[in-house]
């Protein structure tokens, strides 16, 4: 009989102790971010989609179209085409990532021999169609150069005998 | 009424696949007699993605991001297990600093997994408040891991032979601060949950698993430790840098839900201890092994590596035939074995108790389906 009442009392006290925790936190400042009015900055290693590194000296990208990233990508989502501009040099004429298939593993960034790729801090990446998430890195680079007032890197055309792929008309971002 | 020929029938009730307490797409077919369950039959496979088959048609590195998707809550342990298996095949020696980083980030991930379990489980039992506190703490871990790994949930951070990016001072300082913070929060969890009379009455003496049952069903992780068997891969088959650290293996006595809950809460405290020791002893040096081949092509052979994930033993069995693609990869996932005891535990219980038992198993359904 005593145990019965004791259990009730202890139980009731435990509920009050729980309420006390809630009430204590009620007076503490809000921890959530009030999103549309308040935005967080992305951490330096945040993985958005990949983008070209802009070399400070040459003011352009460092891609040599070696297709290493293309080969290591688990989802085979990079469509990359290179054009020989002279005897030694090769440049990309098309670099499009189908971002909707990307699993953000970072293998392409690590495998790149010239360190031409980096992660962007883009996080608003939703769209209405599948094509919205296809990102043309060469066009994106031109946009970034334009924003800085630097000369734009021309997108080399493949040789005329090849069937010319549509490159400039792609929906960007 | 009975005279008029009203038949007695068992009533079949579907729990899931969209039931919020199944934590994914799991269907449990229940045969009910009145209020009580006579038979429970888990139906799995809704989220089958064929991870093991995917491994067979891609390179060793290309399978890395898949591991983060098998169990998305403790992804780093799964990363580590696969890397360990391939490192064994290649005969790579991981530098000490990389092992320490793996331990620190892996244990942080374990805490975040347990915190999510704690919140979601209490939500199953009808307590809404704790999940808000748990997610507040978990958010700090995700932010810290985001600084190091670049992602917040499906990590793909470890590589064969080490880790690709080093941790910085800010991460170390942030982690120390977080350890201090979480230790003060455990008192609140105690008051809010562990001492709560409703919680105790829902969980005490419900879903008791005996030690014999544990061995029969091949249970691992907090399930087996809740029943009083101190089996932990970190101790029984030490891997990585775990032999260097001093930590206890919390065990329960009875094997009921309350014991499993307490084991998980105590495990979080032990994880904090491990992280603290690792931060204090953190050596300098390289983070990547020397001579990691660019083209991973291990010699013929087969290896098995196992780690202690948040839910139990995760094993990775890799068969190589000396090619760039693995011949076969078998993933031994803890949730699958742990779920197999559900039909036996749920006989003669109420549906509300079944939900409590199912939650205490801590299933991650994509891991079962994989």
Position A163 confidence tier, pLDDT thresholds 50, 70, 90: low
Give the mean model confidence (pLDDT) for residues B273-298.
85
pLDDT digits (tens, 9 = 90+) for A12-66: 888 888 888 888 888 888 888 888 888 888 888 888 888 888 888 888 888 888 8
Give tens-digit pLDDT for A53-100: 888 888 888 888 888 888 888 888 888 888 887 777 888 888 888 888
Put simply, whether A33 touches B (Cβ < 8 Å) is no
* A67 secondary structure, DSSP code: -
Closest residue to B146, CB basis, from A14, A25, A43:
A43
Average pLDDT over residues B345-368: 86
- For a pLDDT cut of 90, what percent of chain B falls above it? 9
| Interface contact A44-B147, CB threshold 8 A | yes
Rounded to whole angstroms, the Cα distance separating B148 from B43 reads 38
Domain spans of chain B, in order of start: 10-368
Q: Chain A to chain B, count of Cβ pairs less than 8 Å apart?
A: 75
Q: Which residue has the higher pLDDT, B54 or B293?
A: B54
Report H helices in chain B.
51-56, 64-70, 75-90, 96-125, 129-149, 169-189, 197-203, 211-217, 222-226, 233-236, 257-281, 334-339, 342-345, 351-361, 365-369
A-chain CB neighbours of B196 within 8 Å are: 14-15, 18
The distance from CA B129 to its chain's CA centroid, rounded to whole angstroms, is 23
The helix/strand/coil state of A63 is: coil
Go through B246-280 and write b for each residue having 16 or more CB atoms within 10 A of its CB, e for each that does not: ebebbbbebbbbbbbbbbbbbbbebbbebbbbbbe
Residues in B closer than 8 angstroms to A17, CB to CB, are 191, 195
Q: From chain B, pick out residues whose CB is under 8 angstroms from the CB of A16.
A: none
Categorize the per-residue pLDDT at A170 as very low, low, confident or very high, splitting at 50, 70 and 90.
low
B-chain residues near A11 (CB < 8 A): 197
Of B65, B129, B188, the CB nearest to A103: B65
- CATH 3.40.50.150 for domain B10-368, yes or no, is no
Is A18 at the interface with chain B, CB within 8 A? yes
pLDDT for B322-346, tens place per residue? 888 889 899 888 988 888 888 888 8
Model confidence at B3, in pLDDT bands (50, 70, 90)?
low
For chain A, first and last CA: distance in Å?
73
How many Å from the N-terminal Cα to the C-terminal Cα in chain B? 50
- Hey, what's the torsion of the CAs at B310, B87, B367, B206, to 10 degrees? -30
For position B1, what pLDDT does the model report? Answer: 44
pLDDT in tens, B237-254: 888 888 888 888 898 888
Residue of chain A with shortest Cα separation from B165: A45
Interface check for B197 against chain A (CB to CB < 8 A): the answer is: yes
Which domains, ranges and CATH numbers included, belong to chain A? 50-148 (3.30.70.3270)
Cα B168 vs. chain centroid, distance in angstroms?
27
Distance from the B291 Cα atom to the nearest Cα atom in chain A, whole angstroms: 15
What local confidence, expressed as pLDDT, does residue B353 receive?
87
Report ipTM for this prediction: 0.78
What rounded mean pLDDT belongs to chain B? 86
> Are the beta carbons of B154 and A72 separated by less than 8 Å?
no
Rounded to an integer, what distance in angstroms lies between the CA atom of residue B234 and that of residue B102? 13
Enumerate the residues of chain B whose CB falls inside 8 A of the CB of residue A74: 58, 62-66
Which chain A residues are Cβ-neighbours of B69 within 8 angstroms?
103
Q: What separation in angstroms does the CA of B38 have from each of A33, B348, B357?
A: 48, 6, 15
Note whether B147 and B171 are within 8 A (CB).
Answer: yes
């Amino acid at each position: 009989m005593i145990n019965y009442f004791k259990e009730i009392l202890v139980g009731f006290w435990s509920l009050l102790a729980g309420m006390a925790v809630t009430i204590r936190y009620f007076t503490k400042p809000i921890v959530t971010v009030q999103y549309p009015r308040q935005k967080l900055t992305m951490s330096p290693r945040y993985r958005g989609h990949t983008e070209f590194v802009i070399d400070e000296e040459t003011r352009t990208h460092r891609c040599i179209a070696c297709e290493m990233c293309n080969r290591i990508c688990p989802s085979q989502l990079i469509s990359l085409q290179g054009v020989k501009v002279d005897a030694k040099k090769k440049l990309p004429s098309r670099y499009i990532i189908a971002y909707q298939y990307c699993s953000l593993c970072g293998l392409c960034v690590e495998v790149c021999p010239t360190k031409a790729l980096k992660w962007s801090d883009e996080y608003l990446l939703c769209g209405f169609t599948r094509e919205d998430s296809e990102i043309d890195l060469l066009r994106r680079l031109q946009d970034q150069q334009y924003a800085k007032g630097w000369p734009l890197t021309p997108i080399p055309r493949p040789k005329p005998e090849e069937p010319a792929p549509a490159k400039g008309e792609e929906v960007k971002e | 009424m009975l005279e008029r020929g009203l038949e007695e029938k068992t009533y079949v009730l579907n729990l899931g696949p969209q039931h919020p307490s199944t934590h994914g797409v799991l269907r449990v077919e229940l045969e009910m007699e009145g209020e009580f369950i006579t038979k429970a039959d888990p139906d799995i496979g809704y989220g089958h993605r064929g991870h093991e088959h995917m491994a067979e048609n891609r390179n060793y590195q290309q399978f890395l991001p898949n591991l983060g998707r098998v169990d998305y809550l403790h992804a780093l342990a799964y990363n580590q297990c696969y890397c360990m298996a391939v490192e064994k095949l290649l005969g790579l020696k991981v530098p000490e600093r990389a092992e320490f980083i793996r331990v620190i980030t892996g244990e942080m991930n374990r805490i975040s997994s347990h915190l999510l379990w704690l919140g979601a489980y209490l939500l199953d039992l009808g307590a809404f408040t704790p999940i808000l506190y748990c997610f507040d703490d978990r958010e700090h871990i995700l932010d810290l891991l985001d600084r190091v790994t670049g992602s917040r949930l499906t990590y793909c951070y470890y590589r064969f032979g080490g880790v690709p990016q080093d941790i910085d001072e800010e991460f170390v300082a942030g982690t120390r601060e977080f350890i201090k913070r979480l230790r003060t929060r455990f008192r609140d969890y105690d008051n809010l949950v562990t001492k709560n009379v409703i919680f105790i009455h829902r969980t005490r003496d419900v879903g008791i698993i005996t030690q014999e049952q544990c061995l029969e069903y091949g249970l691992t992780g907090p399930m087996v430790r809740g029943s009083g068997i101190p089996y932990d891969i970190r101790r029984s088959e030490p891997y990585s840098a775990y032999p260097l650290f001093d930590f206890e293996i919390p065990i329960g006595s009875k094997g009921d839900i309350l014991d499993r809950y307490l084991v998980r809460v105590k495990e979080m405290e032990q994880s904090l201890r491990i992280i603290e020791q690792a931060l204090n002893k953190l050596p300098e040096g390289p983070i990547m092994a020397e001579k990691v081949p660019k083209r991973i092509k291990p010699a013929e052979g087969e290896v098995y590596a196992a780690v202690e994930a948040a839910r139990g033993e995760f094993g990775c069995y890799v068969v190589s035939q000396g090619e760039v693609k693995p011949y076969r990869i078998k993933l031994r996932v803890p949730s699958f074995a742990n779920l197999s005891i559900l039909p036996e535990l749920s006989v003669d219980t109420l549906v509300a108790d079944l939900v409590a038992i199912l939650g205490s198993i801590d299933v991650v359904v994509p891991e079962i389906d994989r």
